[in-house]
Structure 1
Amino acid sequence: MIKHQIRRRVGVVMGGSSGEREVSLRSGAAIAEALEARGHEVVRITLGDDLGPELLTTLRRSRIEVAFLALHGRLGEDGCVQGLLELARIPYTGSSVLTSALAMDKLKAKEMFRLHNVPTPPYYTVHASDDRTDLESLHGSFGFPVIVKPRGEGSSLGLTKVTSFEELAPALEKAFEFDDAAIIERFVSGMEVNVGILDGKVLGAIEIAPKNGLYDYEAKYTPGMTEYFMPARLPQARYRGVLNLAERAARALGCSGAVRVDLLVTSGENEYVLEVNTLPGMTQTSLLPKIAASAGIDFGALCETILESARLHQPTRRRAPAASEVRLHERVPQRSKKDLRLVKTAG
């Protein structure tokens, strides 16, 4: 067993009710084994469908010092569990409640990218409650092909490449199985690249080459369906530009801890950010560990570094107001309506 300076009681939180539950369980198992090998006391906390008050009770009774989040998808990666941990005052890995929510919501993330001049493919949204009787008018001159995907789901669940109006309605229905809203995004032909970031430091970029041309759920999790090239096969200057763009995207959302940024790199010298993952997959074969390994960080060291970055993001009141401050506030006279009129006139 490897000696470690600080031995901690760590709760590895995994499972959940999203479509990415199985991936989360694999991430959690790998993380737990790595932390145990480094001398930590690990409590495996597997979540089910119920994330109500019982979860808060479970977290407190576990007597963990810190929570290592291995959750993916809704109700785990979107700020919900992070909020519970803030209430329980248990430090946790990953980004804050707000950042987690923004990154998981593809629409809000894109709005933040545009606000910070981070290029992202053009898009529009459709809600399940919208009148879809005339999709041609709704789609207008947006063109094809497009990518249709749920607004708030990960692992490319519910994602479809659409090449005609006839395919649009079925693709939307597929997306609505996972969310009440869908993103219709212009398809951009280019190299898929993922960039790993750890505590604000860019680790490198890996190229993803799916054999069916689309990096969907099947391509991500079926062995042999995708080739990976580390580092991404790009000219040196462009490689640095991709790393810089990924760093800007993560900064736009306020990310912390371990982050993976998904991008498209076109032959026309353009780069686009697709999304930012605040709790990237952490199995031995996931993309972030591959990128970290290329940077000289093995899986155990990666888990240790992520653990060390765990913290609470909501500030606590440092002190209560002094009695003199309260009394001074209470003595401030209330202005009458006449006084306010005089002030306004004088201004």
Structure 2
Amino acid sequence: MKSYKKLTLSLLCGGPSLERGISLNSARSVLDHLKGEDIDILPIYFDYKKRPYRISQAQLYSNTPSDFDFKLKYTATPLNDKALVRLLRRADIVFPVMHGPFGEDGGIQRILERNHIPFIGSSADSCKLLFDKYDANEYIRVHGFHAPPSAVLRIYRRDHKNIIDAFFKKYRISRAIVKPASGGSSIGVFSVQTPSQALDRVRRLFSRRFDTRVVIEPFAVGREFTVIILENRFNMPVAIIPTEIEADYAHHQIFDFRKKYLPTRHVAYHCPPRFPDETIDRIQVQAEQLFTLFKMRDFARFDGWALENGNIWFSDFNPISGMEQNSFLFQQASRIGLSHRGALRTIVSHACQRYGIPFPPSADDECTHRDRRKPVHVLFGGETSERQVSLMSGTNVWLRLKRSHRYYPHAFILDEKRKVWKLPYTYTLNHTVEEIIDNCVRAPQDHTRLSHLERRARLRLGFRPHEAEELRFIPKSITINEFIKNAPFVFIALHGGFGEDGALQGMLDKACIPYNGSGADVSSLCMDKWRTDRAVEALALPGIHAIAEKLLKLNTLSDTKREVASFWKTLTKELRSRTVVVKPRADGCSSGVAHLFCAGDLMRYLDAVRAKASFIPAHTLKRQDSIIEMPQQPAKELLFQSFIETDTVRIARQALKYRRVSGWVEVTIGLMEHRGVYRVFNPSLTVAEGEVLTVEEKFQGGTGANITPPPPSIVKPKALTCAQHHIEKLAKEIGLKGYARIDAFLHVDSGSLLIIEVNTLPALTPSTVLFHQALAERPPLSPRELIEEIIENAGY
């Protein structure tokens, strides 16, 4: 039998673009799913000035580059040009996973080619040609593919108004798109109606230096799609099953950064798309032709439109597709039976084949020890406003346990009717709970069509018998009682409501089924913010306090301006606070949390609650820069708290900026418990962009910074130690079990704490702060080890 040496893969991430946070997510996925006995990963990070650093694998688990950018000189090894090339040559092959300029425009590829270093992906010339949206559009038009008219504006020219006016007039434009000529993730993309609006957006893009060239084109009328292309072992491109993107384009909405990377009700994906088979065929054939035309290699993702007039337009070409956990790459690959690991191995092995590099056969640790591993039923979803975060947590736990040698996971989703569905691999990767349930319900009628599309793609990719084994099955629903009866261990990845309020825990206790986290009584207490705060005050522990607050039953306050104004005056007086924070009594994940500045803000917030709004649009309230997701079930009681003014902490251009205001900073602190012994992690300093921490900053990879631990220049080491002791005492008194996370305001001098909330089932999303803190321990605890310890500590 032929022996293979371990393959060393150098992973390049970061870069100067605004997509550098997404690059970190992609790098994390590659590390998670390729690292093993047969492949070693060597991460190299480029900062916003394209300066390279050798970083640790642990740093890839940061939420954003801002988590460590400012301390790179102390925590990473800077590399000059010679040192970079020397380090790259130590690897067998290089995998650039940088998105945007430098990563996808041929910049890094040119460096690798110049130094004769093997790498994955398309050449520098190919990347340069397809990266510029205007040039690529003109290129495909010349070669006979459909492309709408477009115009390009250059930053230092004075003809912007003339070009825009002429473009609108010539093509009778009623709606147009203005976007940077380069870049991705819909950053800097605007929808406009008039020439004056277009000119304003162009000036905005140029003033902020998004690009030196801006493109204007007609708004596409049709249905949006994206398709992944993989090269098979015969160097032939094969387009996998496309995904249709269903979004609301009214009121100048677009498929923007938030919708792309945060699971939300405001966009839906359909794979296969709801197009006729003939349209799918045309998309796949043209995608493969364009892949060849651009002389691309290994893999790519193309975005486009099936237009109302019957044409297919490919509007964006991505030589390095995003590789976050539920990205289109993994979604579409899973439709033909490829796991995350299988998809990445397909891409890497093809590149190795091109260079004649021996690629080790799969040591498939997802299957090797399956018979000896203990089964774990991972339950996620639910009906609360936190269900999409639950989906991210549950999927992440399930994927990490897939590579465990101790436990073997099965994925289950809870629907709004309390039915439970066992999921095939591919269904877990949909972006929302609603999509997954819809797929489950439609599975029997979709089976024939899907099977045909799957078989065709697998045949054209030339899979060998042992490849692509994550095959789809038709899921069936069972009752929650049936689920519990057949579960050896339940990993509860639900957030809020039934999963976190003690109800499910009580059912599991009654059935003697082990599970993660605290018991029924403690879960019930901590789910209710009002009761939690009352309990904290009643304990009267030194250095630990609740925030001044007031509870309001909605039916006791009328919606007249006079009564709301009167209530506001009384409220601010009682709380001794000019502004207040409002939140539902029993919801988490920043759902419904808002900072109110005046009675008008309160009136508008109450209007949204009473109207059962799914979200409050940005700029509805004062200083509200992003939308506020609202609870799925309208709140009957609201909790008002004093607004705690914190010290100003900002990260700008790899520098940490700190200005003392009150001595308070916001932190989150994770902990583990086993048989009454508590281990409190180092706190993380949370850096919010707005008035309150948003859902994105908490859970969306690539947004929101967490600094673990807080630097001594901000929080004194003695204060940190003191805060950890306070948390340990509080956890013991409350009776927290297994693991938990406590959010609080910490005083930088004394270590005193103002408790915000206690999370008995903290999120375990790919970029959750709990993983950062566990990796900062000595010895460090990897995400998979942390999850395994949570299960083990529950007695399983």
Structure-2 separation of matches of 1:123 and 1:178: 19
Give the residue type in structure 1 aligned to 2:298.
G
Asked if structure 2 preserves the Cα contact closer than 8 Å seen for 1:86 and 1:312, the reply is no
Superposition TM-score, scaled by structure 2 size? 0.38
Q: Report the counterpart of residue 202 of structure 1 in structure 2.
A: 239
Aligned to 1:173, the other structure's residue is in SS state helix
Q: Deviation string for 1:171-228 (max 9, x for gaps)?
A: 2123323111111111111111111110111211011112455212222123213211
Given candidates 20, 38, 54, the residue that maps to 2:80 is 54
Aligned residue runs from structure 1 range 59-208, under 5 A: 59-62=85-88, 63-131=90-158, 132-134=160-162, 135-137=164-166, 139-142=168-171, 143-176=173-206, 177-199=209-231, 200-208=237-245
For 1:121 and 1:56, how far apart are their aligned partners in 2?
45
Partner amino acid for 1:183? Answer: V
Q: 1:38 to 1:295 in 2, by over 3 A?
A: farther
Superimposed CA distance per residue, residues 30-56 of structure 1 (whole angstroms, 9 cap, x where no aligned partner): 111111146311111111134368255
Give structure 2 stretches of 5+ with no counterpart: 52-78, 232-236, 356-796
Out of 6-15 and 126-135, give the one that drifted further: 126-135
Name the structure 2 match of 1:345.
none
Flag the 1:208–1:38 CA change in 2: closer, same or farther, 3 A: farther
CA distance, structure 2, for counterparts of residue 211 and residue 247 of structure 1: 29
Please say if residues 102 and 109 of structure 1, whose CA atoms lie closer than 8 Å, have aligned partners that are also in contact.
Answer: yes
The equivalent position to 1:246 in structure 2, one of 275, 287, 312, is: 287
Mapped pair 1:9 → 2:35: no
Q: Aligned pair in 2 of structure 1 residues 97, 211: CA closer, same or farther (>3 Å)? A: same
How far the C-alpha of 1:9 sits from its partner, in A, is: 0.5
More contact order relative to length (CA 8 Å, sep ≥ 6):
1
CA shift, 1:137, in A, is 4.3
Equivalence map 1:216-235=2 (5 Å): 216-224=256-264, 225-235=266-276
Q: Compared with structure 1, are the counterparts of its residues 17 and 302 closer, same or farther at alpha carbon in structure 2 (3 Å cutoff)?
A: same
Alpha-carbon shift at residue 268 of structure 1 (Å): 2.8
State whether residues 92 and 312 of structure 1, in contact with CA within 8 Å, keep that contact through their aligned partners in structure 2. no
Describe the SS at the equivalent of 2:242: strand
More divergent stretch after superposition (44-53 vs 268-277): 44-53
Question: Letter of the aligned partner of 1:204 in structure 2?
Answer: I
Task: State whether residues 147 and 187 of structure 1, in contact with CA within 8 Å, keep that contact through their aligned partners in structure 2.
Answer: yes
Residue 283 to residue 293, structure 1, CA distance change in 2 (3 Å): same
> Deviations along 1:86-105, whole A, 9 cap, x unmatched?
12222111100100111111
Q: CA RMSD in A?
A: 2.2
Deviates more, 1:71-80 or 1:211-220: 211-220
CA contact (8 A) 1:192 1:263 kept: yes
- Cα offset, 1:250, TM superposition: 1.8
Question: What is the CA–CA distance in structure 2 between the aligned matches of 1:267 and 1:92, rounded to whole Å?
Answer: 40
Q: What is the CA–CA distance in structure 2 between the aligned matches of 1:130 and 1:306, rounded to whole Å?
A: 43
SS at match of 2:35: helix
CA distance in 1, matches of 2:38, 2:324: 19
1:274-331 residue CA offsets vs partner (Å, 9 max, x unmatched): 02110010111111111111121111011111112326999xxxxxxxxxxxxxxxxx
Q: Structure 1 CA distance, aligned partners of 2:169 and 2:151?
A: 11
2:28 paired residue number:
29
Mean Cα deviation higher: 156-165 or 174-183: 174-183
**1:93 and 1:296 mapped to 2: Cα distance?**
22
CA contact (8 A) 2:176 2:219 kept: yes
Equivalent-residue separation in structure 2 for 1:146 and 1:22 (angstroms): 28
* Distance in 1 separating the partners of 2:86 and 2:241: 37
1:32 and 1:24 mapped to 2: Cα distance?
A: 12
Identity of matched residues, %: 26
Superposed CA offset, 1:144-163 (max 9, x none)? 31111111111111111111
Q: Output the CA distance in 2 between the equivalents of 1:223 and 1:255.
A: 31
Residue aligned with 1:156, SS: coil
Distance change in 2, residues 1:291/1:6 (3 Å): farther
Task: Provide Cα deviations, 1:65-109, integer angstroms capped at 9, x if missing partner.
Answer: 111111100011111111111122221111001001111111221
Partner of 1:322: none
Q: Name the structure 1 match of 2:57.
A: none
CA contact (8 A) 1:125 1:182 kept: yes
Q: 1:60 to 1:172 in 2, by over 3 A?
A: same
Partner of 2:17: 18
Structure 1 residue runs of 5 or longer lacking an equivalent are: 315-347
> What CA distance in whole angstroms lies between the structure 1 residues aligned with 2:39 and 2:323?
18
Counterpart secondary structure, 2:21:
helix
258 and 38 in structure 1: CA distance in 2 versus 1, 3 angstrom threshold: farther
C-alpha separation in 1, matches of 2:282 and 2:308: 14
Cα distance, 1:263 vs. partner? 1.1
